[in-house]
Every structure is written in C-alpha cells, then in structure tokens.
Chains A and B, each alone.
Chain A
C-alpha cells in the first residue's frame, strides 16, 4: 500500500513557468514532509521540507503548500529553469523513524 501518493508522474513545463507537483497521505501520524530532488545516477537530495503546523514554506523559487485537513501538500517551482529538470519525490516521516516516499515526478523544463 502506497503511503504517499504523488502526481503527476511526469511534467513538462516551459522555461519561466510554474511547476506544480502534488502529494497526498492518509496517516495522520506523519509529522514531517520533505521534498527531494534526484538527478540521473545520483541519490536524492533534500530540497525543502515542512512541518504540519505551518501552511506554507518558501525557499527561493521553491514553495511547499500544506493542507493539513485535506492531508495534501504540494511543491511549487516558480520561474522553472532547464536546470530544474530532474525527478522530484515527496516524502513523509513517521514517528517510527521511517521515511515513506512518493513514486516520483519526472520534470522536464523546456528552454
């Protein structure tokens, strides 16, 4: 059973556009929600993370929006650049010290 559901599977955005990736979860025990960026042949790297006590967190061009009642959170990439082309994973952390990852979104930013 997939603990964190992620969509879309793939996304193509024009340079300068906004990329939006969505995730949903069921387990209300999750209390930390990071996003990871992965380039081919590399391990995932932490991009940005949020706790459920805030509804939004922004770091540069990257913003997480969090809706606790809907159990959904999303990553927004503003002014998307070709260098942002990668696979993005959302994740949720349980008090049992486990991270559960989404299935990933392959983002392509067209110049």
Chain B
C-alpha cells in the first residue's frame, strides 16, 4: 500500500520567504509527526498531531514555524520569514494511533535549502 508521501521533495527558497511543506500520511493513521533533520544529525521532534489537533507542539523552534492538519489527514508545515538556519530535511511520520509502541512510518522528507 501507499506509504507516507511528502511534497515537494526539494525546495530552494531565498532568505525571508514563506514556504509550505506538505505531508500525506498513510490512510487511516490518526497520529502525525513532523521532524527536522539537519546534516549529520538525528531527526529532531517538531510537532505531533492526534487527529486534527496539535497534541504537542513543544518542538517548534519559534513562532515562524506553524503546522496544520485541518481534516485529520494531510498536514502542512509552514515556515515564515525563512532563515539560512532553517535549511534541513523535514520529515513527516504517521502512526496508527500514536501510542509509544505504535510504529512510526516516515516519509522520504523534503529537503529545504534557504539561500
């Protein structure tokens, strides 16, 4: 079956611009996670959705970052006034219910480059 998909696969933008990154989770998965992976590092938690609501957004680095999941399926990560330090691979994962032993299935990521 279809896995987690993310679009675009690559995004190049200029400092100060606004970007949106999209995640399509596995159908029926209620839990959705966003991570940021910098070069040579492990994924860093950003935000966790359970259904339509953000159950935990404590990983968002500042108020330039925002994410939505209006219908409990597709999610969009929005970054305002991008900075060069935002350059990273943004990973999305989904799981069936969000419990700790519930396997998270990761998408291939969106590589964001801020010039």
Contacts and interface: CB of A to CB of B under 8 A. Distances in A.
Instruction: Report whether chain A binds chain B.
Output: yes
A26 interface: no
A91 B42 contact: yes
B44 A101 contact: yes
A93 B42 CA distance: 14
Nearest to B42: A101
Given A97-B48, A98-B56, A43 B4 contact: yes
B42 A98 contact: no
Interface stretch (A44-52, A61-69, A77-85): A44-52
Nearest to A99: B45
Contacts, number: 56
A44 B106 contact: yes
Interface string B43-81: 111001000000110110000000000000000000000
7 contacts: A42-B106, A43-B93, A44-B106, A45-B105, A51-B101, A91-B42, A104-B42
Interface of A: 4, 6, 31-32, 41-46, 49, 51, 89, 91, 93, 95-104
Interface of B: 4, 33, 40-45, 48, 55-56, 58-59, 91, 93, 98, 100-101, 103-109
